[in-house]
A and B are shown apart, each in its own frame.
Chain A
Amino acid sequence: MTVKQWMVAGVAALWAAGAAAFPTIQHWQTANGVPVYLVERHGLPVIDLRLDVDAGESRSPLDEPGVASMTAYGLMDKEYDGNELRSPLEILTDTGNQYWADIRRDRATINLRVVSTRSPMTMVSTVAKQLADAKYPFESFKYRRDAVIGQLTDDPAKASAEDALTMALYGKHPLGNLDRRTPATVKKVGNSDTRGFQRRYYVPGNLIITLVGDVSRADAEKMAELLTAHLPKGEAAAPLPALAIPPGPADTAPIRLVRQKNQSTIEMAQLLDIDRQSPDMPAIMLGNYMLGSSGFQSRLMRELREKRGLTYNVNSSLGILRGHSMLDIEISTRSEQEQQALQLLRDEVARFTREGPSDAELSEAKDRYLRSMSFWGSTNESLIGLVANLGYYGLPLDYYDRLSERIAALTAADIKTAWQRHVDPARFLVAIEGPEPAKTEAPAAAQASAP
């Protein structure tokens, strides 16, 4: 495989000597067809390995959110057999290696981080045995379930501004299952549910493996075979039902979550009907970067923090899933000025959508963005995330090269057009965590500072 060069002709001049090359991604399939992605990096005695499984909360039954979470969390649980002294999890972590499971809206991720000199093959075979035959023994299942229940709230729509928004935006779609987990729904989950879920979704057609770090191709192949050879048989899960992104009413009143605070957190969000495969995505990404996700260089930081001192931090972010994305803007500010801050946010988004960036602004932002791409994946931890995304969303191996080419080719008009096509400034859903509205107009209650 040829070395993947980040550079593209159009921006080559920007890259001085020692230009970054995106690390080589090796790619193959296991004997039973599981895609594997590997980046070898031998500078540090550490191997990161992860499995991304289409077994996120979106695969839980609609009336039983939490099954996917319990399945992922309890994967390593096992009853002690005969003279066994240690459980799988103890084998994995007693040596200081790390194992953890993440559950997201659209996938489950099983992570293993090992020192490459500390029996990595034993670690991998321990995970493999459990994947092949996860039993979810009742006692540990119950204990784990109680722990999960302890973290959940009865009324998630009131838990935080973010939860209130995502619940409203995803509604009853399976992608909203993550937010709809409550103590009551998780209590209904039994270990027979998780066993069934694991056998249905943790199957060769439904997952990918990514490795980064101090591991050779030969060992990586062995690890991937170990992990997959005895998996329950199965195909990829059917695609989720399409997520309707209704235009929604314009300018709805903010959802208010009353809090005993002297600072309000304002969050505004809307769903966009595009993903990484969409031709407009680079323009939306770069636009978001300019508007609110490039730290001090973003318009929002300049206008609200640097010029007006209204906040410590304001930012926008773009969460991209399959088939859609979510644009989300967040700020915290002294409660008396919350309406002023919200109006400024609305104005800035409207202005950006209406006018787009100037040519000079675009060329400067583009330059910064392309240069910052040379830092993408500079750590193993960030690299494995990038590579796993590429695999999980079925993107070509040269996706990041192409992305930089497409960013480099954008014009100010492209950004304006894409933004106008996909973002409607009048249709953000807004949630505010802060004191009751009457309080926001009164002078600040004297807040005694600590002694």
Chain B
Amino acid sequence: MSRHAAFACCCASLLLAMFTPAWAAKTVGGLKPSNPVVEPTLVHPLLATRVEHLDNGMTVVLHEDHRAPVVELQVWYRIGAIDEPAGLTGISHALEHMMFRGTAKVPTGEYHSRVARLGGENNAFTTRDYTYYYLTLPASDLETAFDLEADRMQHLALAEPLFKTEIEVVKEERRLNTENNAFRAFGESMQGVVYPESPMRNPVIGHMDDLNKMQVSSLRDWYGKWYAPNNAIVVLAGDFDPARTLPLLQRYFGAIPSRALPARAAPQEPVQQAGKRVVLKKPSRSSLVSFQWRIPADAPPRDLAALDVLAEMLSHDYQDRRLALASDSLYANFDYPTRGEPLFVFNATPSKDASLGELESAMQKQVALLRGAGLYGQMLERAQQRLQARSYFSYDELSNRASELGMLTLYGFTPEQYVAHLNLLQQVTLKDLERVADTYLKDEHRVVGVLEAQPIDKIVATQEIKHDR
């Protein structure tokens, strides 16, 4: 469930970009836009943030925003699918569900109803790297938020009968979002091939086999191990007074004893596997071709920034007419930061008239162009402008501010370091882009995935997964 407004790229813009013939871009390549934007320096909104550490190891992030009389509290735990051993995939997410099923003091259903009675809202997300809970309340009810979260950090009931019902909900969630969603099922298959050994392969929702045999005792154990203040970050954003709030935070969370955390498995993988290929046939409205490259975790900051910008460019601008004709939509993403290792993804769906083979070879050509100085200055500037503007737009949502702060803290960045990374994005040059494409996006390091859409209403051969080496 994602309530955070995704800034759906406006398809109109994409369409026009597609329409602009490659030669048009070439004639102005390297030139500055005709009316460069003169922009006064804006202080980045996230810099107005204070980070504190309680004695028990809990990190507290405070961000004031007085636009509306609302506060958002988020509690982040550094636990996710990447920490799960074989046979227990999905346990972090199942535990997230059970976090709403009651403590000794707050019986099942009561958490939701207390928040709702105050007019607030709440939910939670589990990902590969972390689990976080949020609740939004009127500013005057901040203390209720502290009370609820401090309580379930320590006293979760994990009652067996409720677990039996809740795990059925989780299975429905898996059926909804993975088993009957071809793109997600394909993503899960790809993940298994890109990361044959490491827990980076684990699906967050968990494999159905693991969900079928999951026991509440394992959840108790998982909760006991990881839900400790020294494994948590509390982010508070919105309309509050820090001087009054810090003592409250200390009162509710400061007395929770810290615990020694178990050692985490370091997600080590052998180097890239050359030329792997995944083919999945599944009922779907559209086919998909995906190229994925694992990127070394120790790549220098400037390279990481360049890969971010490159993904933004690839998502929005076609440089090659063949790809414009062969594809209906493009998507590129640089998955960074991560607790494992970064991943660069380039996906495209085929246009009506193009075969999957034609699409794949057009994508291949596009990637080759990146390596051979085939990029245009204008596209780079557009991507940088979009990245910057989008960050302002996203701060309209208090939640986006809070979750960005939670995430950057979880990955070990200060707001200042994070803003420095954003600034680095603006300094990326064409030469940087060529260098990172040449260094990291090599054919021999690439996994190619093909989702072959089957009719959604007809029975077809059972799904087939080919793992070629």
Chain A interfacial positions (CB closer than 8 Å to B): 15-20, 41, 43-46, 73, 76-77, 85-87, 89-90, 92-101, 113, 115, 117-119, 122, 139-140, 143-144, 147, 150, 158, 257-263, 294-297, 302, 305-313, 332-334, 364, 367-375, 378-381, 447, 449-451
Contacts and interface: CB of A to CB of B under 8 A. Distances in A.
Interface string B1-41: 10001010011110110111000000010000111010110
B239 A312 contact: no
Contacts of A262: 175, 179-180
Nearest to A298: B116
A260 B283 contact: yes
B119 interface: yes
A99 B138 contact: no
A371 B392 CA distance: 28
Nearest to A159: B285
Nearest to B70: A378
Contacts of A310: 168, 172
B140 A16 contact: yes
A296 B109 contact: yes
B208 A449 contact: yes
Interface residues of B, number: 95
19 contacts: A41-B67, A94-B385, A95-B385, A115-B39, A143-B19, A144-B15, A260-B460, A261-B179, A295-B112, A295-B116, A305-B169, A306-B108, A309-B169, A310-B168, A312-B173, A372-B119, A379-B397, A447-B179, A450-B207
Interface of B: 1, 5, 7, 10-13, 15-16, 18-20, 28, 33-35, 37, 39-40, 42, 45, 65-70, 100, 108-109, 112-113, 116-121, 136, 138-141, 164-173, 175-176, 178-180, 185, 188-189, 192, 203, 207-210, 239, 283, 328, 351-352, 378, 381-382, 385-390, 392-393, 395-398, 454-460, 465
Contacts of A312: 169-170, 172-173, 176
Contact of B208 (A16, A313, A368, A447): A447
Contacts of A374: 69-70, 119, 138
Which of A20, A76, A263, A312 counts the most chain B CB atoms within 10 A?
A312
A100 B112 contact: no
A18 B140 contact: yes
A294 B456 contact: no
Given A93-B382, A99-B10, 16 more contacts: A15-B138, A17-B140, A18-B138, A44-B67, A94-B33, A94-B382, A118-B37, A144-B15, A150-B351, A150-B352, A263-B175, A306-B165, A374-B119, A379-B396, A381-B397, A450-B192
Contacts, number: 230
A450 B185 contact: yes
Nearest to A260: B283
Contacts of B455: 260
Given A17-B140, A95-B389, A451 B189 contact: yes
A136 to B, nearest CB: 13
Contacts of A372: 116, 119-121
Nearest to A20: B69
Contacts of A99: 10, 12-13
Given A97-B389, A115-B389, A259 B40 contact: no
Contacts of A76: 12, 16
B16 A140 contact: yes
B385 A308 contact: no
A119 B37 contact: yes
Nearest to A41: B67
A394 B192 CA distance: 55
A46 B207 contact: no
Contact of A150 (B175, B328, B392, B456): B328
Contacts of A307: 165
Contacts of A101: 12
Closest 7 CB pairs of A and B: A371-B119, A96-B389, A309-B168, A449-B208, A96-B385, A100-B10, A16-B140
Contacts of A113: 393
Contact of B117 (A86, A119, A257, A367): A367
Contacts of A19: 69
A259 B456 contact: yes
B342 to A, nearest CB: 23
Contacts of A451: 189, 192, 465
Contacts of A46: 392-393, 396
B15 A259 contact: no
Contacts of B69: 18-20, 374
Contacts of A97: 389
A329 to B, nearest CB: 16
B125 to A, nearest CB: 14
A101 B8 CA distance: 12
Contacts of A257: 457
Contact of B203 (A118, A381, A450): A450
A34 B164 CA distance: 59
A140 B185 CA distance: 36
- Report which residue of A19, A89, A99, A369 has the largest number of chain B beta carbons within 10 angstroms of its beta carbon: A89
Contact of B457 (A44, A93, A260): A260
A332 B174 CA distance: 11
Contact of A263 (B172, B208, B352): B172
Given A95-B385, A150-B351, A381 B117 contact: no
Nearest to B11: A100
A96 B386 contact: yes
Given A18-B140, A43-B65, A312-B176, A449 B165 contact: no
B168 to A, nearest CB: 3
A94 B172 contact: no
B303 to A, nearest CB: 23
A117 B28 CA distance: 26
Given A99-B12, A309-B165, A373 B119 contact: yes
A119 B37 CA distance: 7
